[in-house]
Amino acid sequence: MKQDDEQGIIRQAQAGDTAAFATLVEKYGQLVFNLALRTLHDRLEAEDIAQETFVRAWRALPRFRAEAQFTTWLYRITINLCYNRLPHLRQELAAMDADEVTGLPDERQTMETRLVTVELMAQVQTAVINLPDSYRLLITLRHIHDLSYQEIAEVTNLPLGSVKTGIFRARRLLRQVLQPYEELTHG
């Protein structure tokens, strides 16, 4: 769907067109569900969150201003609902200190490009699942949903520095866990 087409569909939905809104739900439903699932690790909870996200989006749609992308707005609703299910998540994210980060890794050299085996990819998935909830959320938004640091800050309502800190720490934890596997693939 082209950006102009999407804006038209959003305007139709804002005017009360349920078919237009159904088009948006169809397009973004899986993204919202996946974000909730990766955050909560519970399929039923994720389904509930996805449904509630779209219920809230429908109610708030007349107030939606296209200042942010529609997906960013949906992610924000989803994350806020996840915060309600995991109260410690917001506290973990807020506790991150932006001043501790120095020398963030080069974005062009992501971990995914260095992973060469299917087994290693399985280890990455397991390692991400085992991250603390706050780090898992940030890694999911950055690397699964391809949000920029700024978009993640908007979605999570965190300062940009805290987002960078959290992603840096999550990557560091992942590197520590995955180092033995990486050595096997390069050695």
CATH number for 118: 1.10.10.10
Q: What is the pLDDT of residue 163?
A: 93
Tell me which of 60, 89, 118 is where a domain ends: 89
User: Which alpha helices (DSSP H) does the chain contain, by range?
Assistant: 3-14, 18-40, 43-60, 70-85, 87-94, 111-114, 118-129, 133-139, 149-156, 160-186
Q: Is residue 126 a part of any domain in this protein?
A: yes
Q: Provide the 10 A C-beta neighbour count for residue 59.
A: 9
**Do both 85 and 7 map to the same domain?**
yes
Q: Is residue 14 a part of any domain in this protein?
A: yes
**One-letter amino acid for residue 45 of the chain:** E
**Do both 78 and 41 map to the same domain?**
yes
Round to whole Å and give the CA distance between 148 and 86: 24
Confidence of residue 112 (pLDDT cuts 50, 70, 90): very low
Round to whole Å and give the CA distance between 11 and 51: 21
Round to whole Å and give the CA distance between 32 and 47: 9
pTM for this entry: 0.64
pLDDT in tens, 116-150: 445 556 677 778 888 898 898 998 888 888 889 99
Tell me which of 89, 111, 135 is where a domain ends: 89
Between the alpha carbon of residue 144 and those of residues 5, 14, 114, 139, 183, the distances in Å are 25, 29, 16, 7, 24
Closest CA to 68 of 183, 171, 153, 185: 153
Round to whole Å and give the CA distance between 112 and 152: 20
Residues 106 and 154: beta-carbon distance below 8 Å: no
Q: Is residue 138 a part of any domain in this protein?
A: yes
Based on the structure, what is the number of domains in the chain?
Answer: 2
Q: Is residue 179 a part of any domain in this protein?
A: yes
Q: What is the pLDDT of residue 66?
A: 75
Q: Is residue 94 a part of any domain in this protein?
A: no
Sequence-ordered list of residues with C-beta below 8 angstroms from that of 43, at least 6 positions apart, any chain: 37
More confident residue, 112 or 178: 178
**Do both 125 and 49 map to the same domain?**
no
More confident residue, 112 or 73: 73
Mean pLDDT of the chain: 80
Residues 21 and 58: beta-carbon distance below 8 Å: yes
**Do both 136 and 79 map to the same domain?**
no
Q: What is the pLDDT of residue 52?
A: 95
Q: Is residue 40 a part of any domain in this protein?
A: yes
The arithmetic mean of pLDDT across residues 75-100, rounded, is: 73
Here the CATH number for the domain that contains residue 68 is 1.10.1740.10
Confidence of residue 114 (pLDDT cuts 50, 70, 90): very low
The arithmetic mean of pLDDT across residues 92-97, rounded, is: 63
Q: Is residue 63 a part of any domain in this protein?
A: yes
Tell me which of 61, 89, 117 is where a domain ends: 89
**Do both 81 and 14 map to the same domain?**
yes
Question: Is residue 46 over pLDDT 60?
Answer: yes
Q: Which domain holds residue 120?
A: 99-186
**Do both 103 and 31 map to the same domain?**
no
- DSSP class of residue 145 equals S
**Do both 169 and 120 map to the same domain?**
yes
